[in-house]
A and B are shown apart, each in its own frame.
Chain A
Amino acid sequence: MDEKDLNLTPEDFEPLPEGAAQDNEKISGPSLSFGQNVWLRFKQRKAAVISAVVIILMVLVAFGSTPFINKSTLVRSHPEYANLPAKVPGLDAINGLNGKIKQNGQWVDAYAQNNVPKDKYFIAGTDYLGRSLAQRIIYGTKVSLIVALVAAFFDLTLGVFYGIVSGWKGGGVDNVLQRIIEIISSVPNLIIVVLMLVVLHPGITSIILAIAISSWTTMARQVRAETLSLKNEEYVLAARSLGESGWKIAWKHLVPNLSSIIIIQTMYTIPSAIFFEAFLSFIGIGITAPETSLGVLLNEGQKNFQFLPYQMWYPAIVLCILMIAFNLLGDGLRDAFDPRGQK
């Protein structure tokens, strides 16, 4: 470097005033709490956000409809409206949604055939007793959601409690509790549920109980494993050496740090509980008529599937949307809580 080319002036070498350049402790971005970070990452996952919205809508519709759609409205049968296809106001052009149904290769107006009043619309058609399928699906969705919520509740209480106790106490207690879980887990859930259903009489209460009681072991195992590792974290050791009581530590330090595992596991318990209810009701050993659930509707729809495919398609679609939404939400939350898995 030819030093004459530098064109330096004495002013260049003036020291910088104190503090002018020394903003070196400035932190360039606002720091975010763990929760805020999770929320930011969650928001980026469109599929999960849409799923959350879908689930909220389904919950609102299912539970909000209770005054209009309940056991007393659903038992009323209208044989004169039996097996009508869907008829949605304003969709006269779309076969299948305009009250027409395919019979022997021809689209026939089932409403006209059965002399249904002109202003009568069943947006998802009717079942073999002339009950509105839309109403029954909404009611069935509510049952599925209740089953899911109770299973989640058992996960959050029994599963979490069992896991924390097992992991935190360690030693002999842990050993005994783990052997018990090991024994329960080597019996297929199905068997536990079926045995309970055989003993209790089939119905909503027994199916909820059966699913809830068989579903918490995975949660307990995961919480225990995490508790074991958290137990030796320094902040927990610090709290212990400061003489905080075990339960206070569990509540103040463990539960917040376990929250991601707990939330993610709950999100996986829910669809499996929904599946189990539908499955058991479908094969006829879960909820049975006159009670309704998505599984019952699928069971009834399947019998007539060849002629009235819509009776199975609609509840199937709702069930699948529910399952997909919970699975996607679970995945989205998992990714949001665990940034290592990020793409």
Chain B
Amino acid sequence: MTKYLLKRIFYMILTLFLVATITFFLMKFMPGSPYANEEKLTPQQIHIMNEQYGLNKPLIVQYLLYLGGMLHGDFGTSFQYSNQPVSSLIAARLGASVQLGLQALIVGVILGVIIGSIAAMKQGTWVDSTATVIAIIGKSVPNFVLAVLLQYYIGLKLGWFSIAGWGDFSQTILPTIALSVGPLAETARFIRTSMVDTLSSDYIELGKAKGLSRMEVIRKHAMRNSFIPLVTLIGPYAVALMTGSMVIENIFNIPGIGEQFVKSILTNDYPTIMGVTMVYCIGLVVILLITDIIYGLIDPRIRLAGGEA
């Protein structure tokens, strides 16, 4: 297990290093100037600013400085918000994004598990068909379309929840719903398939032959076996939530990292783009690693196979 983990961590670091390198050089070769309204600046001013941002040093030095800085959590200085370090810019916005992402994940997974399980238990009935329709629609309707509709009809017309901003809990409700629909649909589909598979397995039959009632068989044998594989979906969910947060935060005007990312892209704020890119990648590799460890802990088959390797 330790050997496996070390190997995983090595690949994590390699991945992050490659991403850092690639983003750095891509950004360096970008055409155009990083400064807003460059035409108004004198060559002298540009020279001073280049010095300030370290842009006049040889490329390789800039690269090493960048990598070195990143080890201390320093992603450089934003071009747009003068003198503000990218790291503090991100730090100030990470909280809202993480909270929104977690809320959406929890709501989506819990509802998805419930819908998927009920559909599997009532396989072939109208309950099952309804759940399938919900899942297909949830998977097909883009979350930003849903977000706009929720914001207008529920937020504005009905006035039930706040339509924008970030602060109190009621402001998080609509964006959470919009963001949770994807994981919800995916979970419901996954759990239904997994549960139907499990319910038709021999050990469920043996459970019935032991004299357990249907609910006892489901509770004691079917649930654990069909829910465990859900852990493997956490990685893809994280990616979907990162993607979703970019647009949802924009629509609901939430000061999160996704909204910042879009802003940086539109304004060519390369240090911030690189910083957010790294934060997303670090987030994902860490989540993937944790997922792996959790899976090993809760599935005895993997736990022991890993132990022997």
A and B touch in the complex (CB under 8 A): yes
* Residue B96 interfacial (CB < 8 Å): no
Q: By the criterion CB–CB under 8 Å, are B148 and A327 in contact?
A: no
Q: Nearest Cβ in chain A — how far from B290, in angstroms? A: 13
Q: Nearest Cβ in chain A — how far from B294, in angstroms? A: 17
* Residues 122-148 of B at the A interface (beta carbon under 8 Å): 123-124, 136-137, 139-142, 144-145, 148
Q: By the criterion CB–CB under 8 Å, are B140 and A279 in contact?
A: no
- In the complex, chain A residues whose CB is within 8 Å of the CB of B141: 320, 323
Q: Nearest Cβ in chain B — how far from A179, in angstroms? A: 7
Of the stretches B46-54, B205-213, B273-281, the one at the interface is B273-281
A residues near B (Cβ < 8 Å) are 179, 182-183, 186-191, 194-195, 197-199, 271, 275, 278-279, 282-285, 298, 302, 305-306, 309, 312, 316, 319-320, 323-324, 327-328, 331, 341, 343
Q: By the criterion CB–CB under 8 Å, are B266 and A285 in contact?
A: yes
Among B23, B136, B139, B144, the residue within 8 A (CB) of A298 is B144
Q: Nearest Cβ in chain B — how far from A305, in angstroms? A: 6
* Residue B242 interfacial (CB < 8 Å): yes
Q: By the criterion CB–CB under 8 Å, are A279 and B124 in contact?
A: no
- In the complex, chain A residues whose CB is within 8 Å of the CB of B243: 188-190, 279
The interface bits of chain B over 236-269 (1 if a CB of A lies within 8 angstroms of the residue's CB, else 0) are: 0001001100110011000000000110011010
Q: Number of contacting residues on B, CB 8 A?
A: 46
B residues near A (Cβ < 8 Å) are 11-12, 14-15, 18-19, 22-23, 26-27, 29-30, 123-124, 136-137, 139-142, 144-145, 148-149, 152, 156, 193, 239, 242-243, 246-247, 250-251, 261-262, 265-266, 268, 273, 277, 280-281, 284-285, 288
Q: By the criterion CB–CB under 8 Å, are B11 and A343 in contact?
A: no
A302 CA to B150 CA, complexed, in Å: 12
Q: By the criterion CB–CB under 8 Å, are A186 and B281 in contact?
A: yes
Q: Nearest Cβ in chain B — how far from A177, in angstroms? A: 14
- In the complex, chain B residues whose CB is within 8 Å of the CB of A331: 136
Q: Nearest Cβ in chain A — how far from B90, in angstroms? A: 15
The 4 closest A-B pairs by CB, nearest first: A323-B140, A324-B140, A188-B239, A190-B243
Of the candidates A194, A306, A328, the one having the most CB atoms from chain B within 10 angstroms of its own CB is A194
Q: By the criterion CB–CB under 8 Å, are B142 and A198 in contact?
A: no
Q: By the criterion CB–CB under 8 Å, are A327 and B266 in contact?
A: no
Given contacts A179-B11, A198-B30, contact A187 B19 (CB under 8 A): yes
- In the complex, chain A residues whose CB is within 8 Å of the CB of B152: 305-306, 309
- In the complex, chain A residues whose CB is within 8 Å of the CB of B124: 343
- In the complex, chain A residues whose CB is within 8 Å of the CB of B156: 306
Residue of A nearest to B250 (CB): A283
Given contacts A320-B145, A323-B142, A341-B193, contact A282 B277 (CB under 8 A): no
Interface of A is mostly: helix
Residue of B nearest to A317 (CB): B145
Residue of B nearest to A322 (CB): B140
Q: By the criterion CB–CB under 8 Å, are B288 and A279 in contact?
A: no
Q: By the criterion CB–CB under 8 Å, are B246 and A190 in contact?
A: yes
Residue of B nearest to A325 (CB): B140
Among A189, A198, A279, the residue within 8 A (CB) of B265 is A198
Given contacts A316-B145, A323-B142, contact A183 B18 (CB under 8 A): yes
A330 CA to B18 CA, complexed, in Å: 35
Residue of A nearest to B23 (CB): A195
Q: Nearest Cβ in chain A — how far from B123, in angstroms? A: 7
Q: By the criterion CB–CB under 8 Å, are B15 and A324 in contact?
A: no
Q: By the criterion CB–CB under 8 Å, are A319 and B266 in contact?
A: no
- In the complex, chain B residues whose CB is within 8 Å of the CB of A316: 145, 149
Residue of A nearest to B145 (CB): A316
A198 CA to B239 CA, complexed, in Å: 20
- In the complex, chain B residues whose CB is within 8 Å of the CB of A183: 11, 14-15, 18
- In the complex, chain A residues whose CB is within 8 Å of the CB of B136: 324, 327-328, 331
Q: By the criterion CB–CB under 8 Å, are A283 and B140 in contact?
A: no
Q: Nearest Cβ in chain A — how far from B29, in angstroms? A: 8
Q: Nearest Cβ in chain B — how far from A77, in angstroms? A: 25
- In the complex, chain A residues whose CB is within 8 Å of the CB of B265: 194, 197-198, 285
Q: Nearest Cβ in chain A — how far from B159, in angstroms? A: 14
- In the complex, chain A residues whose CB is within 8 Å of the CB of B26: 195, 198-199
Given contacts A190-B243, A283-B246, contact A278 B142 (CB under 8 A): yes
Known A186-B284, A188-B243, A327-B136; further 9 A-B contacts with Cβ < 8 A = A183-B18, A186-B15, A188-B239, A199-B30, A283-B247, A298-B145, A320-B145, A327-B139, A331-B136
Q: By the criterion CB–CB under 8 Å, are B140 and A271 in contact?
A: yes
A179 CA to B18 CA, complexed, in Å: 13
Residue of B nearest to A326 (CB): B140
Q: Nearest Cβ in chain B — how far from A296, in angstroms? A: 13
Among B137, B144, B288, the residue within 8 A (CB) of A186 is B288
- In the complex, chain A residues whose CB is within 8 Å of the CB of B149: 316
Among A194, A279, A284, the residue within 8 A (CB) of B142 is A279
Q: By the criterion CB–CB under 8 Å, are B140 and A320 in contact?
A: yes
24 interchain pairs, CB-CB under 8 A: A182-B15, A186-B15, A186-B281, A186-B288, A187-B19, A187-B281, A189-B239, A191-B19, A195-B26, A198-B26, A198-B265, A198-B268, A271-B140, A275-B142, A283-B246, A285-B265, A298-B144, A319-B142, A320-B140, A324-B136, A324-B140, A327-B136, A341-B193, A343-B123
- In the complex, chain A residues whose CB is within 8 Å of the CB of B262: 283-285
Q: By the criterion CB–CB under 8 Å, are B247 and A187 in contact?
A: no
Q: By the criterion CB–CB under 8 Å, are A319 and B145 in contact?
A: yes
Q: By the criterion CB–CB under 8 Å, are A327 and B145 in contact?
A: no
Q: By the criterion CB–CB under 8 Å, are A188 and B140 in contact?
A: no
A195 CA to B148 CA, complexed, in Å: 27
Q: Nearest Cβ in chain B — how far from A46, in angstroms? A: 12
Q: By the criterion CB–CB under 8 Å, are B247 and A195 in contact?
A: no
Among A282, A284, A306, A327, the residue within 8 A (CB) of B140 is A327
